[in-house]
Structure 1
Amino acid sequence: PEGGQVYHGKAGTTAQSTASALEVEPGDFAGLVIPGGYAPDMMRRHEAMVNLVREMDNQGKVVAAICHAGWMLASAKILKGRTVTSFFAIKDDLVHAGATWVDQEVVEDGRLITSRTPDDLPVFMRAVVRAMQGV
């Protein structure tokens, strides 16, 4: 994916990227939020995006993932020994990647924050904001 590209959500919303994953420096950000739905399955097919997630985690930045975003965490190989949650259907994928999976609204394992579904957004976003303010 390139900077300036417009992405369309399933509900008709649009978002335009300002830079590609190759153009950003992890040190310039407090963290990142990986969206849910099926976007993470597309995102993890791009090595630069996977590397960005891995490097953010390596630098101790906040990495937040909701719903199916756990797929990106598995591809970035940052789950071994971590406790996470996600949409229930990808539980086995995360466990096979080395995570301990729990069924909770939000799980904070260090600077890794995970959540299950859009119903959990209020508690998830409070955790994300709190973590990023603590940077």
Structure 2
Amino acid sequence: MSQVLAIMTNDVEDIEYTSPAEALEAAGHHVTLVEDEANKTLTGKHGTTFTTEKGIDDISVADYDALLIPGGFSPDQLRADDRYVALVKDFFLADKPVFSICHGPQLFIQTGLVKGRTLTAYTTVRPDLYYAGGIVKDEPVVIDRHLITSRTPDDLPQFNAAITKELA
């Protein structure tokens, strides 16, 4: 069983968290939801509420096997906080699996580690990734070593299959 860390805040695209989390848990993995503090209630763009399990200051990359970053307006808020940027950077540098969909890859830009990586994201995020040095594709799922990215909720079946396969 792998330990998957999910980072998000309010205005996340609800299904971009619930669908991958359900797929991962159905495959026997544990998903830990993290934001600024434990036991905090977050509200998605479509009204779903989520309760965080831990706070960002209470976790260590060493304790987790993979990172999940759902989209919506959440990643743009998280990338303004150096703690989340550092966390994403640490996952990349440790070469651990990172799963991100839609606007999630916005967080990668702040890490300075996009250059040379092949990835995708929501249509408006793709130019930003390109200008940050990424090799950007317009495909449902793009896999670059342990980095798995996807474009929109329509791609969730392929994304979920890819992330569960990565941890199998």
Q: TM-score range by the shorter chain?
A: over 0.9
Structure 2 residue identity aligned to 1:120 = D
Structure 1 residue identity aligned to 2:56 = A
1:123 and 1:24 map into 2 onto residues whose CA distance is 29
Percent identical among aligned pairs is 37
- Where does structure 1 lack aligned partners over 5 or more consecutive residues? none
Deviation at 1:91, TM superposition (A): 1.3
- Say what the alpha-carbon RMSD is for the aligned residues: 1.0
The aligned counterpart of 2:129 is 94
Structure 2 residue identity aligned to 1:34 = I
In the alignment, structure 1 residue 107 sits paired with structure 2 residue 142: yes
- Where does structure 2 lack aligned partners over 5 or more consecutive residues? 1-35
Deviation at 1:42, TM superposition (A): 0.8
Number of residue pairs matched by the alignment: 133
1:89 and 1:75 map into 2 onto residues whose CA distance is 16
1:76 and 1:14 map into 2 onto residues whose CA distance is 29
TM-score computed with the length of structure 1 as normaliser: 0.94
1:45 and 1:16 map into 2 onto residues whose CA distance is 22
Tell me the secondary structure at the aligned position of residue 149 of structure 2: strand
Are the counterparts in 1 of residues 39 and 54 from structure 2 also a CA contact under 8 Å?
A: yes
1:28 and 1:11 map into 2 onto residues whose CA distance is 31
In the alignment, structure 1 residue 127 sits paired with structure 2 residue 151: no
Deviation at 1:105, TM superposition (A): 0.4
In the alignment, structure 1 residue 116 sits paired with structure 2 residue 151: yes
